A and B are shown apart, each in its own frame.
Chain A
């Protein structure tokens, strides 16, 4: 289990790169890496050479989140002014523009079947579910407020929702908030189930284990990565090692490892069976906002790939084996 650097693109964007995800391969092309940055553009890159495929413009403020449909045909990008642009990957034709009040769009993710787009609703303390056929809002999963006004009540801005993740079976949605709690929802009934506690600073990134629909990984500003049994409300392990905020986490397709990116400018690879960091990559010069594993499938080399993006405007690609 290791990462080997393949390629780095310095100044891939003109400004800090904030978001990255892989667009799954289709029959006609291999998987693409999609990045979003403060320079208001979204760029698509061909692996492994990281050649620039296209630059999408159109956002008015920095791009905070990008998401790819599991079919690989469409993708979505969201900027600080909370416009979500949904576009066709191969033609860059706009399919839909979803609008929300600013500060109410952060992380986004398509569900595993591709019928729903979940959007972490920031200050609205909720997760919005959009139908991907008609592009209509189908549900808003709100985090219930604590009952009654109490003197030390956590006000609503503390429930600011930053991150969202679908369970691999598509039945659950988890979202992470600024106060460190993670909320789990039952999608079919659109019902709040419970909180997962353990972090006490914002949870910036969440991902379910692809191998195990109960296992959830969370990355938080308290410099820890937690493993949760998301159904049993139990924290299973806390992985410590980062020296600063953990900004991003992704699980490898084989479910044996996770990778994290942090404000301490490093990317770490964690072996889940050992529950320890097996490798620390420190080729970025500034905080690492996104790490993402390439999903399996499609033509081309089958080897595992991990990409990381950072405030230093660069993109790095690693071989994961």
Chain B
């Protein structure tokens, strides 16, 4: 690179100056040869000029001799000798460094040389020396670091320590982690990183680190200490979460470790303090463990188990106290140890039975706290401790206020002060103190608890009180808070909530000796319908009362009533009666007890006894509170109805004071009974008191119930299910029985009596629900009820509407209270409405005028339903039926058949189908028929016959059995076993059915296989079975006539066929299929007799068929075209043929259609050519070719082709 002119000149200038300087120096050296300074300067000058190093070295040697303290000179000499004589260089450098330890050039060079010759110890000592001499000898420190890293790799650990000291914990853990990675025998790094993890609150990781350290050196005290404190801290975390058992197990481990350290180093007070902490926490944390829940607890075993639990806690507490004492003995100047002893001894004395009874002038705990205060009088925490532990309220108040004087924002002190004021009854002061405390520290649990306890003064709703108590219990899981939470839940009606359950379970572990805990636990379990657990808890509560020696009657009575109620709910009527009787002997049977007593007696069948109890109850009604009286009255009415029948119930309702009827509960019962009563005696009473029903829900229920009342007794059991939610919950059992009876009754009613009033009731019920739905369009209950009613509607005309009116809503819409969920109705509707609105005309053409839209969606919806409730056998059942429907639609494709087979197999294995109940038997029958059908379609005739025989052997009405035998007929027909076929046919005739479709099928079988028998099925016999079907009678007769006509067609008796079908058409004037058949018959006849009359008839029918069909049916237009063509109407022929072309889906067009198009194109070629018409899209030759391509076996097409080719 060229330098610029100026720079060049500058350089020259410098060189010149240097030369001048050199000259001057040389002169001065010559003048004073003994001045080491001048010589040195000269040497440096020479050295830097780089050309005469030898000369410089000579001067340096002289300079050094003159002044041996010049470190820089030695450095230069070292540099000089470095290239030539290593040993000399080394000495020079050594000299230089020892003179000036900060000289990094020499130091580095020296170390490099030592490194190269392998003298590492020398290097180490040199560096250490240098680093000790001067703090600025950075090179030495760096070298030392390298050496350490090289030899024992503790530099990372050192780095970690440095970070830790600086408070950079994450960086420190990383460094330690690297140190451990480099060498895992380093206990130091493990312990330190463990400590950091503990500081960071990650106890689990910390404990792991200490455990690793202990694996390396099991006797290491600090590792052991760390482990124990880690476990202690972890267990505290567990306790704060409420996982007492976990905490206790951690503490047991910690205790073992602490014992070990105490042996290793028993002279540290801190170790004993920790030992004490562990024991104290163990005493607080150790849970009472309920034995296996199924074991019956008697008082002794309970007492014993409580005793052992208490003993364990007590031992731990005393051990803690001893440990603290040892610690104090070792370090009596530590004031906090006094407090610890005080707390421990307070815990111990609280475990003694007579806690709080002996007012010793100086309690031990109080004394110890005072000791601490003497040492450190200005520690506010000690004052708070005194405030908690002292026995005198005045002293406590003083201590707390003193603490607050020292630190006014001491939330704990405020909280305890609040508690103290509350105990003394100064509510407003207490409130002030709690508010203060809460505003200072909202994460303190006591003020929240205090707030919920003061709910009455604070005008809080029970819900708000519950919320704040739940917060308190969440922050600190103390048994007292948890019990309080459960009590508040009882008031605010949130016993079912999970928080309460969790809290009360934890409370049972921590305070098993309080009967209240068990009682509340029982109530919570009962609210969650876990009656077995509730019974156990109530028994435990009783044991707790007895073992505590406190025999206050009222508690025992409450628990006994609770127990009896749970027993009766769980179905142990006899046990419940026993409880009630023992109560009665003591004279403590209140009205609730009486209700349970009566109910259980009735369940046991002791009706007389039950009645007398009911009378007892009735006599005490007037003395009761209003709400409770209403409940009792409704109960009495029900019991009267169940025991002595309708009349007595009605008369007692009439007799009772009218104001009772204004209660919703009573009204619902009364109207249910009214619905059952035929003679309308209660009409006035029920209708007069409707105005009292106010809330929206209740009005809906009213509509619901009125609708049901209209249905006479058919739907009374729905009323029962509904009312069960409203009325006393525990009457569910009674209702369950009633439902069962009602179901039986309705089955009987449906079979035996198709009374006119029944039908009327049905229709008016439907219209009532429709009206109600109009006013409350978003009520799912009403919607589903309507759907259900429409489905149950006898003549099945409304099924397509049914599925449309229900909503398959989100699952949480508790389906408990409804009768059927929307999904079920949808599924059932889809099955009932045979015409699945198939969107794909590949399989069939929808001819149903109702345009039912559920179609394939139903299968998906039901899969969703089953996915949501996989345990629900109804869902499975409906899915199977719908899948079968789909399979039938698609001509039984094998993949669906396989699924169906498997589904049916599993469904049949469900144990519910072994029950006697009619509905289950019917479902089983249906499933077996499905299985049989699948086997039949799959060609497995043996399986088909087996299933069908199974089905026919079930105990169900003949109405249904008919279909089992019908299927057997088909199976035997498939294997040409005519003798068996005839037997089954006759069996069908004997059984008879109300279902016309059965007769129709049987008729087809009869004629297809020419079954010989004495009694043939005629129109008359068909009509006989149809007489219940009023609205759709004509329709079904039409269908029957159609079948007859079809049979004639098969037999080629066209006259009779035409006659039958014509009759059918006249009966059902809107069915396109019928007209199509009629048209076909007429065309046949016309062809046979060459009669134009029949042709015009055919044209008429086919035109009607065309007009009535929803979508253009194929064939219709073709026949119409032919018929009109034969009549000479060429225009119409062309038009209809074109229509025909469009009524086929493209992939399904038959060969004949192409051929006809060919004809059309030939015909039109002569006339006007309109290119938009379909027949002109290709030549007539092409049409014929396509026809041949589709059906090559037809000679006719080939002939035409031949002609065309010519």
Q: Which residues of A contact B (CB under 8 A)?
A: 15-16, 18, 38, 60-62, 64, 80-82, 101-104, 106, 122-123, 146-147, 150-152, 155-158, 160, 162, 178, 197-200, 211-212, 214, 221-224, 226-227, 229, 231-238, 240, 243-245, 263-264, 275, 287, 311
Contact = CB atoms under 8 A, between A and B. Distances in A.
A158 B529 CA distance: 13
Interface in B495-542: 496-499, 501-502, 505-506, 509, 528-532
A197 B569 CA distance: 20
Interface centre among A60, A122, A162 (most CB of B within 10 A): A60
Contact of A102 (B249, B812, B906): B906
B531 to A, nearest CB: 6
25 contacts: A18-B867, A38-B864, A60-B895, A101-B905, A106-B870, A123-B910, A146-B532, A150-B532, A150-B570, A152-B531, A157-B910, A157-B912, A178-B870, A197-B501, A229-B241, A231-B246, A235-B506, A236-B241, A237-B241, A238-B497, A238-B498, A240-B499, A243-B812, A263-B812, A275-B474
B909 A101 contact: yes
Given A80-B867, A198-B505, 4 more contacts: A38-B860, A102-B902, A198-B498, A245-B811
B899 interface: yes
Nearest to B247: A232
Given A81-B899, A81-B903, A237-B502, A150 B571 contact: yes
Contact of B863 (A61, A103, A212, A236): A61
B871 A232 contact: no
B810 A162 contact: no
A146 B532 CA distance: 11
A16 B868 CA distance: 12
A156 B391 CA distance: 57
Nearest to B205: A211
Interface in B860-877: 860, 863-864, 866-867, 870-871, 873, 876
Contact of B246 (A101, A178, A197, A234): A234
Contact of A80 (B496, B528, B570, B866): B866
Given A64-B867, A80-B866, A214-B246, A199 B903 contact: no
B204 interface: yes
A287 B810 contact: yes
Contacts of B238: 229
B123 to A, nearest CB: 43
Contact of A198 (B501, B871, B911): B501
A263 B902 CA distance: 30
B1060 to A, nearest CB: 44
Interface centre among A16, A156, A162, A233 (most CB of B within 10 A): A233
B244 A234 contact: yes
Contacts of A60: 895-896, 898-899
5 closest cross-chain pairs (CB), A and B: A151-B571, A232-B245, A160-B871, A238-B498, A244-B812
A73 B532 CA distance: 48
A244 B246 contact: no
A178 to B, nearest CB: 5
B243 interface: yes
A224 B570 contact: no
Nearest to B896: A60
Given A102-B903, A151-B571, A222-B498, A229 B812 contact: no
Given A102-B903, A224-B498, A232-B249, A160 B572 contact: no
B863 A80 contact: yes
B571 A103 contact: no
Contact of A152 (B571, B895, B903, B905): B571
Given A15-B860, A60-B898, A103-B906, A234 B243 contact: yes
B1177 to A, nearest CB: 35
B242 interface: yes
Nearest to B240: A236
A58 to B, nearest CB: 10
A236 to B, nearest CB: 5
B498 A240 contact: yes
Nearest to A212: B204
Contact of B502 (A160, A198, A200, A243): A198
Interface centre among B501, B571, B812 (most CB of A within 10 A): B812
A211 to B, nearest CB: 8
Contacts of B242: 234-237
B1166 interface: no
B468 to A, nearest CB: 16
Contacts of B531: 152
A211 B244 CA distance: 20
A101 B867 contact: no
B243 A236 contact: yes
B481 to A, nearest CB: 15
A234 B246 CA distance: 8
Interface string B848-892: 000000000000100110110011010010000000000000000
Interface string B904-934: 0110011110000000000000000000000
A11 B242 CA distance: 45
A138 to B, nearest CB: 23
B243 A232 contact: yes
B871 A235 contact: no
B903 A156 contact: no
Contacts of B812: 221, 223, 243-245, 263-264
Contacts of B532: 146, 150, 152
Contacts of A227: 241
A238 B499 contact: yes
B294 interface: yes
Interface centre among A151, A232, A238, A244 (most CB of B within 10 A): A232
Contacts of A61: 863, 899
A257 to B, nearest CB: 16
A200 B241 contact: no
Contacts of B204: 211-212
B899 A147 contact: no
A261 to B, nearest CB: 14
A286 to B, nearest CB: 8
B832 to A, nearest CB: 23
A122 B531 CA distance: 25
Contacts of A155: 911
A263 B498 contact: no
A163 to B, nearest CB: 11
Contacts of A212: 204
Given A80-B866, A101-B905, A152-B531, A232 B246 contact: yes
Contact of A226 (B246, B498, B871, B903): B498
A279 B903 CA distance: 42
B871 A200 contact: no
A81 B902 contact: yes
Nearest to A99: B902
Nearest to A229: B243
A80 B899 CA distance: 10
Nearest to A14: B860
Nearest to B244: A234
A214 B720 CA distance: 46
Contacts of A178: 870-871
Given A15-B860, A81-B902, A263 B810 contact: yes
Interface in B208-243: 238, 241-243
B870 A199 contact: no
A158 B871 contact: yes
A260 B740 CA distance: 41
A60 B294 CA distance: 44
Contacts of A157: 871, 873, 910, 912
A69 B898 CA distance: 29
A80 B498 CA distance: 31
Contact of B245 (A81, A233, A263): A233
Interface centre among A82, A102, A212, A231 (most CB of B within 10 A): A102
A214 to B, nearest CB: 7
Nearest to A289: B867
B241 to A, nearest CB: 5
Nearest to A181: B530
